[in-house]
A and B are shown apart, each in its own frame.
Chain A
Amino acid sequence: SQQGEEDPQALSIQEGKNATMNCSYKTSINNLQWYRQNSGRGLVHLILIRSNEREKHSGRLRVTLDTSKKSSSLLITASRAADTASYFCATDPIQGAQKLVFGQGTRLTINP
């Protein structure tokens, strides 16, 4: 069963605009991670945020985590065509040992 739910399931925006994706989860976590997947290929790790962190930045990516609401958001600024992909959040439950639980993903399309 899936732990998280991403919202929206699909997002289409114009190149240069910002894209925001949200993720909700159900159980306590050790950390939350965001991954990108291009056309059904392998997953590329984007960023990891620990349960005691509230915000993290990496290049054009900004991730927030609200453990009280069990939710996270991924912001991609100044989007590019190459950002077109599916984005997944994955939680690492405290009781698990690197056993990632993924949401269903957000399909992001960047239009020129």
Chain B
Amino acid sequence: DAGVTQSPTHLIKTRGQQVTLRCSPKSGHDTVSWYQQALGQGPQFIFQYYEEEERQRGNFPDRFSGHQFPNYSSELNVNALLLGDSALYLCASSGTTTSRQFFGPGTRLTVL
């Protein structure tokens, strides 16, 4: 049983560009959450998707958007990249009956 997978592992972009990160949830999970973790900090909640809709959102600008597909996989899009967007982006999946979230290995985004 595969756990949560994320792609790509690493990504380098320049300021102003756009990026798309991908996440496949653990088998049987229908909820996907995205977190941003800056260096030396704890993860911060970006948003959560359930039934292909954004269910909750953290304190992130509209440049951060997402999508969930019918197979429950999800994408995180960031437009107009800033240097401060450099971080580890973590995807977590969960089922509707449990509070426990399973995290993927993350995507390391570097903005130059």
Contact = CB atoms under 8 A, between A and B. Distances in A.
Chain A interface bracket (under 10, 10 to 19, 20 to 34, 35 or more)? 20 to 34
Contacts of A45: 100-103
A92 B103 CA distance: 15
Interface of A: 1-2, 4, 30-31, 33, 35, 40-45, 48, 88, 90, 92, 96-105
Interface residues of B, number: 29
A35 B45 CA distance: 15
Given A99-B33, A100-B101, A102-B43, A40 B59 contact: no
A63 B45 CA distance: 24
Given A48-B100, A92-B99, A99 B45 contact: yes
11 contacts: A1-B59, A2-B44, A40-B88, A40-B108, A42-B103, A44-B103, A88-B43, A90-B42, A98-B94, A99-B45, A100-B92
Given A2-B41, A4-B42, A31-B99, 15 more contacts: A1-B59, A42-B103, A42-B104, A45-B101, A45-B103, A98-B48, A98-B101, A99-B45, A99-B48, A100-B35, A102-B42, A104-B40, A104-B41, A105-B41, A105-B42
Interface string B53-95: 0011011000000000000000000000000000010101010
Nearest to A104: B42
